[in-house]
Structure 1
């Protein structure tokens, strides 16, 4: 019989078939645990069958979405995987969205069933949901009887595997449809990551691709997943030590909070072999601290949930490239375009456009948005616009600047907030910071900063602003600087700049300007 590695090296296959194989070959190995519940591979395979059969019984057809609104749990993971086995499309939805947005995403997905945990059911009680509600706490009673088998689903490469709804602060987020072929690429490219013997500790939600790119390969290769229902830096280290974690995926703000713990060094983390990071800017100094003090490789991934090109930085192997996000993944292509759509030369800045075997089918029911995200070259090849601005150095490493939409155009000059943030962050009074563009009658836009002060900070906001502006060019200088207790962030650590702009416009920072 071919090995798991050989099976994953095939042009196409499905995750449910791999889980079935693990259930036969290592039935008693723990597949998933959340600290309260756990499933062996045999139990996971069985519950996937019973849940897939129940989905079909209740009218969910192949290609239809199955919605979930839940914090990470064994039950949510089982429903997600059962939907895939039934040939349906898993649609996990972020609980942090407003009730109106959640209801809108459920309706947009076309799901006839939505699975809620108790915490989120209470918040959504007043909403009119366009789907029948199944409580995850009552999952056992909903399942098809013991021994039930779903009708086999003939899954094709282009069939939808999951929908991920992009984060948004207004309106209904766009649903990114990822195919079985795209997911198979994600699973098969991890041949050297050691997921077959992994204990993967995950502290981000299952509605995020950040989580799925570690969650799914761990199960595909036959490792064990440990889910944290809610991130807490100290609790994370306790779980890592208790479960003897070998792999993890964390976003930069989580690394920051973990490394800042006074007792970090007392925890035994020697079992770690593979730590990864994605989703938000990862400061070079923080990478260096993680490499120095936390055993195992540190690998940063840069890419899009939509697909396109991925870049990889093995931080411990390239200490002189920590300011970059690495080099192109094998089999991936990237070009940089100027504002007129022309490819820029080496070392020049441009919008990143990429293509690879792993690209989304498109945005769910958003043909116009899908077209806007696509780029076709002269030969008709399809690429995905990343929306980020960067440049590639002489060694092929990508240096990110900013989201294209976050670039500030002031008096005709392009200003990259990341440049300003790097200078502002150097001030000893600044613990965390960001810079956004706001409308200006004189300049069109002008940069404004927000920062979280360190606990022992003595400098005033005006002093911090003056010191920062002294190190910036005339066109870059901050027009104002505001103090805040914390920066609003998404569940995967991205600063919600639109929220800050909205709060500023509403007078939330009145009186705190420098």
Structure 2
């Protein structure tokens, strides 16, 4: 089965149920099917053909969902573009992907002013493959049509059904640019098959069904939002409550007002929900489960999520290039393993921890690079990276294993523990120091809300760790330094601690810390390498 066949089945099975709601606007599964088929038919009439790439550049909303499912319906690959993108980033993605259609909007919730960018992009011949721009609102630009212009027309049912039957499980489904935390972003290619395999297993572990209400506050331009919110809701016949952007107060209001049962989000999103002034007065009793992923999770935060919000909260780990998820800890696992591990491999993923130099499997307890493999063809590993054979060959071994670039270790019971990015490992006087481990210790210090560790050059030891700490209440750098001296070995002790506001940290559009920029900031603050 591919996602278009699944789309047809679910929209028929749940035709009268609401698929998604945004404010007062609702879209039933039956309406979704009709409007998507009309839009897909109009795209075919304008020359769109299976195998092309269609891009979506807008914030969360029901129109994003229509564009997403219409893209799949015509047998094309979806390219979600960060709503934060500026002209250079947007042009690069459209040129590299050879996108033939761009869905967009003028309402970017204050993140970007798209009109000047669109004017410059469409003025000239710098995008030779782009044939059509579809806007939610009317735009006074040549060649731009509105969604309404492409709605309400005849449906080419036979043609759409032929396309659905020809989509192979290993066809590219999503083109996802990485967040670029350590360098330039790359466009990963995920498949119908690996995305469907992971969603199937995740849904079973989460216990989701047609009575569930999913909170859609994760950005839809991310794999987390596009697949593990939008796709997850459709797979299970759920109702999706959509917010334009993440706002803790708005999310809490939806949880209480719409009976949300399932909350996905990055760790920082849960931290903001739990610390919001309205949280203690919000009825969250309907929430059964949560999906906490996207970056390393502090065990104390995970315990709070389980104790205070979602008793069946699940932690997961994976890469969008490999279906998004490869390991999961769920309510079936012991609580302590749910708090500090990223779980065990899904049935669709073969996961190894190896010596990155030799490729030999590491024994339990020994840190190595995490590699992903298929259990059946196409069940986990995607097709690498768009227009980058060098990056693809560097990531995928000749025998088909995907090198994640992440470090981790298995315990004796097969639970995986995420240690950090291999590129971010700090070698201090010959000893390997993992920022994620140091960050976990820092977060145990009273008064620390969040901590981020990078390495800086040192004339004596080669490199040493330094830390940026977000305080929660009264806190001094000396307090943190004293705490760490009493807690960890000297190699792991930050040589410098800076107290910063969370909003002052460099982040990607999806909320991850840009470690390269943070390291540059640390070097700038030091002025010279610490002695």
Q: TM-score w.r.t. structure 1 length?
A: 0.89
**Corresponding residue number in structure 1 for 2:142:** none
1:202 to 203, 216, 219: 216
Q: Determine whether 1:350 maps to 2:359.
A: no
> Which residue in the other structure is 1:137 paired with?
137
Displacement of 1:315 in angstroms is 5.2
In the alignment, structure 1 residue 281 sits paired with structure 2 residue 296? yes
* Number of the residue aligned with 1:313: 329
**Matched residue, 1:483:** 499
Distance 1:261 1:433 in 2: 19
**8 Å CA contact 2:467, 2:497 repeated in 1:** yes
Q: Please give the alpha-carbon distance, in whole angstroms, between the structure 2 residues aligned to 1:77 and 1:203.
A: 14
* CA displacement, residues 464-506 of structure 1 (integer Å, 9 cap, x when unaligned): 324323433222232222222223333444222112123344x
Structure 2 segments unaligned to the other structure (5+ residues):
139-145
Say if 1:476 and 1:127 are closer, same or farther in 2 by CA, change over 3 A: farther
User: SS of the residue aligned with 1:306?
Assistant: helix
Equivalent residues of 1:410, 1:443 under 8 A apart:
yes
Q: Distance in 2 between matches of 1:171 and 1:108?
A: 17
Match of 2:446 in 1: 428
Matched residue, 2:245? 230
User: For residues 71 and 128 of structure 1, what CA distance do their matches in structure 2 show?
Assistant: 19
Tell me whether 330-339 or 247-256 shows the greater mean CA deviation. 330-339
Cα distance change, pair 334–295 in 1 and its aligned pair in 2 (3 A): closer
Which residue in 2 is equivalent to 1:29? 17
Partners of 1:265 and 1:478 lie apart in 2 by 35
- For residues 235-274 of structure 1, the aligned pairs below 5 Å read 235-274=250-289
Distance in 2 (alpha carbons) for counterparts of 1:30 and 1:269: 21
Q: 1:202·1:250 contact (CA, 8 Å) conserved in 2? A: no
Question: Per-residue displacement from partner, 1:186-236 (whole Å, max 9, x unpaired)?
Answer: 343224522332211121111212221232122123221122111111211
For residue 400 of structure 1, the aligned residue among 405, 412, 418 is 418
Query: Are 1:411 and 2:399 matched, yes or no?
Result: no
Alpha-carbon shift at residue 170 of structure 1 (Å) = 8.3
Q: Distance in 2 between matches of 1:182 and 1:339?
A: 24
Provide, for residues 45-86 of structure 1, a one-character-per-residue CA deviation record: whole Å limited to 9, x for no partner. 111112112222333221111111111110011101101000
Shift of the 386–195 alpha-carbon distance from structure 1 to 2, 3 Å rule, reads farther
1:114 and 1:315, CA in 2 relative to 1: closer, same or farther beyond 3 A? same
Which whole-Å CA distance do the structure 2 matches of 1:394 and 1:156 have between them?
38
Partner of 1:182: 194
Number of the residue aligned with 1:162 = 174
CA distance in 2, matches of 1:171, 1:281: 19
Aligned partners of 1:467, 1:25: CA distance in 2, in Å? 57
* Partner Cα distance (1:298, 1:316) in 2: 11
Q: Deviations over 1:278-323 (max 9, x none)?
A: 1111111111112112244111111111218711112584222221
Q: Does 1:338 align with 2:352?
A: no
* Residue range with higher mean Cα deviation, 256-265 or 121-130: 121-130
**Structure 1 stretches of 4+ moved >4 Å:** 169-172, 508-511
CA distance in 1, matches of 2:481, 2:299: 23
Task: Pick one of 466, 477, 483 that aligns with 1:467.
Answer: 483
The alignment partner of 2:521 has SS state of helix
1:312–1:327 contact (8 Å) kept in structure 2 = yes
Residue in structure 1 matched with residue 343 of structure 2 by the alignment:
326
2:455 counterpart SS class? strand
Greater relative contact order: 1 or 2 (C-alpha under 8 angstroms, separation 6 or more)?
2
CA contact (8 A) 2:252 2:278 kept: no
2:382 aligned counterpart, secondary structure = coil
Alpha-carbon offset, residue 364 of structure 1:
0.8
Q: CA deviation at 1:266?
A: 2.6
Contact 2:321–2:382, Cα closer than 8 Å, also in 1 = yes
Distance 1:127 1:181, change over 3 A: same
Provide closer, same or farther for how the CA distance between residues 440 and 91 of structure 1 changes in structure 2, counting only shifts above 3 A: same
Gaps of 5+ in 1: 1-12
Structure 1 residues 314 and 437: CA distance shift in structure 2, 3 A:
same
CA contact (8 A) 2:372 2:380 kept: no
Which residue among 427, 439, 460 is the counterpart of 1:442?
A: 460
CA RMSD of aligned residues (A): 2.5
Classify 1:491/1:315 alpha carbon distance in 2 versus 1 (closer, same or farther; 3 Å): farther
Give yes or no for the alignment of 1:364 onto 2:386. yes
Aligned partners of 2:394 and 2:451: how far apart in 1?
31
Once structures 1 and 2 are overlaid, which stretch shifts more, 256-265 or 461-470? 461-470
Q: Does 1:73 align with 2:80?
A: no
C-alpha distance in structure 1 between counterparts of 2:75 and 2:244, whole Å: 27
Q: 1:71 to 1:332 in 2, by over 3 A?
A: same
Deviations 1:329-383 (A, max 9, x none): 224222211242222112211111121312212211111111111134xxx4x11
Q: Match for 1:221 among 213, 236, 243? A: 236
